[in-house]
Structures are given as structure tokens and as C-alpha cells.
Amino acid sequence: MAPVAVEQPAAVVQNAQQDTKITLTQSHLKFINSQLQNLEPQQILQWAILTFPRLYQSTAFGLTGLVTIDMISKLQPQYAVAHPIELIFVDTLHHFNETLNLVDRLKKRYPSAALHIYKPENCDTVEDFNRLYGERLWETDEASYDFLVKVEPIQRAYEELGVRATLTGRRKSQGGKRGDLDIVEVEEYTGLIKINPLANWSFKDVHDYMKSNDVPYNVLLDRGYRSVGDWHSTAPVGEGEDERAGRWKGKAKTECGIHETSKFAKFLAAKKVAQQEEATA
């Protein structure tokens, strides 16, 4: 008799409190995405809350993330916890002041939403960061900069908080590598499950929801920005350009590394080898 092929799980999620596991194979992921494809974001959020233990929302308070927060706040009557999803925000120390002001406004608007803020390791201020790594590191070593201010802090957050699944604000209409985005993904390197509840919404859908529900937003939106990151790598978007065209303008780059963990695993491995070779020399 020929051996039976066993499909390897794409991810295994364990609930530490209930000691239960959720195993997702590639075929299971495909089936889940086919079922969620035609659901509204609110329905996807309800499904995610009921399905995944240790579910958080990682957000830089972009438009989609803000809409997600507001949608979750309106699910409150159905859950014992006022805001059932806790938030993770990575403060890169290089955000616009308008972004940091928005964080304060959101705390007042959604006081029951627990917010975890993570910064680059051993740094509280931009002066701390410059002292450790030098000024304008994004110009001299962009990969190291991305790792230090974004990838390492979010991975530390996932580890310390025991995150098994996270909601993101990515959408297909943002262009670039997000054009064929699934609603549910499994991160290749870490096995983290990522849910993109508004993956099928357009910029207009998001903007209309914000207006209808009076959702607080970054005032930079009124100045032509559509996707806001660090001040030194974000610009207003021109007429007819992709929504994220203002990020790293003039470069082929479209992602900072938070959603490219496998790429940064290779980067770290190469850097470690280089350091070992330097030490040997």
C-alpha cells in the first residue's frame, strides 16, 4: 500500500489558558478564504474574535486600522469585554507629530481599548536612538533601520504578549504587493496568523465609513497624504497614483519589513555571518 501523504500545517495556534490548538493547513486556509471572500468586514471581525485565541490588532493608525477599531467598538454589546481586541502600536520615534496627536485623541474616543506601545529596544526618545545608531540611519543602512524601529519591536510585542493572530489594515486597493492579498494569511517565518478584514475595500469605502461614523483620523489626510509612516519616508500622493505611492517615493520598496518577516530572517542570518567573519578576521 502506498504511504498516505500528510499535509503539513501552515500554522498551529495554541490557547495557553484552555490548552487547545488550532491547526491550519494550506487547503484549510484556501477554504477559509473562499468562505470569507464575500463577507462584510464586520462579519469577518466577529468570525476572527470567535475563532482565534490571543488575537490582537497591530496598527499604525492608518485609515483602515482606524475603521477596524471603530467597527470593533460597535461589537461591544456582544462581548463581556468592552473592547475585545487589544491594540499594538509601534512607535518608531520617527512618526509625524500629527500621528502622535491622533493616538491621544483615540485614547479618549475608545477608552476601553487596551493599547500596548512598543519602541525600538533600549530607546525612549529619538535622541536615544541617534546616540546608539547614528543620525539618519535610514539613509546609511535602510535594512537595519527598518529592523530596529519596526520589525524587532513588533516581534518583541508578539512574543511578550503571546500573540497568535493579529488584525492588520492592509487592503488590495493599496497596490504593490498587496494586490492579491488574502483575508487570512500565515506568516512564513513565524507562523503568525494575519487577518485582513478590509482586504476587499477600496479607499472610497474606507473614507465613506469614516465620514459616516465620524471616526477620528490623521489630519495629514487633508493635506494629500493617504498612507502615513515615518516623516522622512512619507509624502503626499499625486493625482492618479496608488494609495501608498507616497511611501518611500522614488524607490522600488513598498513594505517596511513588518509584513516581510521571512525577508528579515534572511537579512539577520546574513548579518550574523558577516559579524562572525569580521570577528574572525
Q: Which residues are catalytic?
A: 256
CA–CA–CA angle 246, 250, 253 (5° rounding): 80
Beta carbons within 8 Å of 245's beta carbon, 6+ residues apart: 175, 237, 238
For residue 241, give the amino acid letter.
E
Q: Say if CB 85 and CB 184 are below 8 A apart.
A: no
Q: Please report which helix (H) or strand (E) contains residue 174, including its range.
A: none
Between CA 23 and CA 164 the distance in angstroms is: 12
User: Do residues 41 and 197 make contact, with C-beta atoms less than 8 angstroms apart?
Assistant: yes
Report the helix count and the strand count for the chain, using DSSP H and E: 10, 8
Sheet of strand 55-58, all strands in order from the earlier edge strand to the far edge: 115-118, 86-90, 55-58, 165-167, 193-195, 184-186
Q: What distance in Å separates the CA atoms of residue 49 and residue 236, rounded to the nearest whole number?
A: 35
Q: How far apart are the first and last CA of the chain?
A: 56
Task: Please name which of 72, 46, 29, 31 lies closest in space to residue 184, comparing C-alpha atoms.
Answer: 29
Cα–Cα distance list, 233 to 32, 67, 107, 225, 247 (Å): 36, 24, 26, 12, 6
